[in-house]
Every structure is written in structure tokens, then in C-alpha cells.
Amino acid sequence: MSHTTRVLKSEWTKVRSVHSTIWTLAAAVVVSIGLGALICAVTASTFDDMSTVSRRTFDATYTSFAGMSLGQLAMIAFGVLVVSAEYSTGMIRNSLAAVPQRGTFLWCKVLVAGPLVLVVGLITSFCAFFLGQALLGEHGVGIGDPGVLRAVVGGGLYMALIALFAVGITFVLRSPLLAFAILMPFFFLVSNILGSVEATKKVGQYLPDQAGTTVMSVVPEALDRPYGPWEGLLIMAAWTAAALIAGFVVLKKRDA
């Protein structure tokens, strides 16, 4: 068995053995699907009361993903816990003693966490879509309609990238409290404010979550971005890559 394979098995064992990481993934699924279904049900019952402009720009696909605004916080928590669990317990010293190649240590953690959050993200996205469209009834769309499949797959990719972004940032900060204190308010409040206020909108729309959510939209007028869905996802992927590279640099230069 190669050294890298042993490290991958070790990282998989860590993820499975920390119950909080499993619960955060479960919370991401339940919150995203449940809140999305509730919003779709309310939207269906009040659709006729909406303004003409709102009905014309209504994005049924994006509406079914409304719960991801909270579900992403659970994915961020997963990304933080995957890294910080070792720092908070002091096990990071043992891990780096066993795997002195710090690049191997970080990327094996990413290779374990990445596919896991991608699978969870895709399951969440498809379930949220089909349940949401069923509740929207005549106002819903089908998976074969133009742009819909891209948006649903993009929803899963978005959830995976937001978790990996949190992994990179936590490697930089190393403290679970600091990571939660920065990431949670930023994605729950600050980013939305920056993306909505006219004075900061041009900058805010290039933040990772503001750009990434574009891929989940089918009606361009619904989000009003100066770039397309795949371009938005690429912007988010660039943020994620930058966070992971920064995490690698910090991990390589600092002691545990």
C-alpha cells in the first residue's frame, strides 16, 4: 500500500469517526430541502398575488434552491470541522508527524472531503429541485427544460465548492472559533448586504457565494449579474482554489 493511499484511508477514518461532521452534512441536506420546499409551497399559493414583473422574471428552478442559503452554512461548518477538529484536540501534531509532507496531508484531506461533499451536494440539489417543482405545480418546470439540468448539477457543485472554500480558510486560520466567527457572519449577512447595496454591488457580486449561485439560476433577469452561470461558477472555483493554496502556504510555513 502506497504512502498516499494510507493517508487517504486515514483521512476517511477521521471524517467518519467525528460525529459532528456527519451531522453537519445531514443538516445541510435537511435544511436545504425542507426550507426550499416550504418556500415553493408558499410561492405556489401566493403566485397570483405577485406583480407582473415578478411573475415575468420568476425562476422556478432557483426558487427550489432557496433553502441552500441556510444549508450552505452547514456545509461551511463541515469544511471547518474537517480541519479544525485536529487543531482543537492537538491531534494535528500527530498527523503532521505521521505525514511530514504537508502538501500530501492537505490534498489528501481535500481528496476525501471533496467527493463526499459533491455527492451530498448533488443529492441535495436534485431532491430540492424535484420536491420544489412538485409543490410549485403548474408554475414549475421540468428537468429537461432549457438550462434546468445545468442549474441542478450546478447546485451540487456550488455546495461542494463552498465546503472546500471553508477547508482552505480554516487551514489559514487554524482556530475553529475564529473560522466560524468569520465565515458564518460573512456568508449569512455581509455578503448579501454587499451584493444588494447599490454602492457595493459591483464588488459584492464577485464574492464567492454571490458568483456561485448564478449557476443555479435559469432566468438571467432574476439575479442580474454581468456574467453567465458557468462564469459565475468559475469565479467561485477561483476563490476556492485561492483559499486552498493559501491554506497550503500557511500549513507549510507554520508549526502545528
169 close to 84: Cβ distance less than 8 angstroms:
no
Cell numbers linked to 141: 418546470
Residue 122, pLDDT above cutoff 90: yes
What's the CA gap between 249 and 232, in Å, rounded? 26
- Helix or strand or coil: residue 173? helix
* pLDDT (0 to 100) of residue 255: 65
Residue 182, pLDDT above cutoff 60: yes
User: What single DSSP character describes residue 1?
Assistant: -
* pLDDT (0 to 100) of residue 162: 96
What's the CA gap between 26 and 216, in Å, rounded? 21
**Averaged pLDDT of the chain:** 90
Q: What is the pLDDT of residues 150-170, one digit of tens each?
A: 999 999 999 999 999 999 999
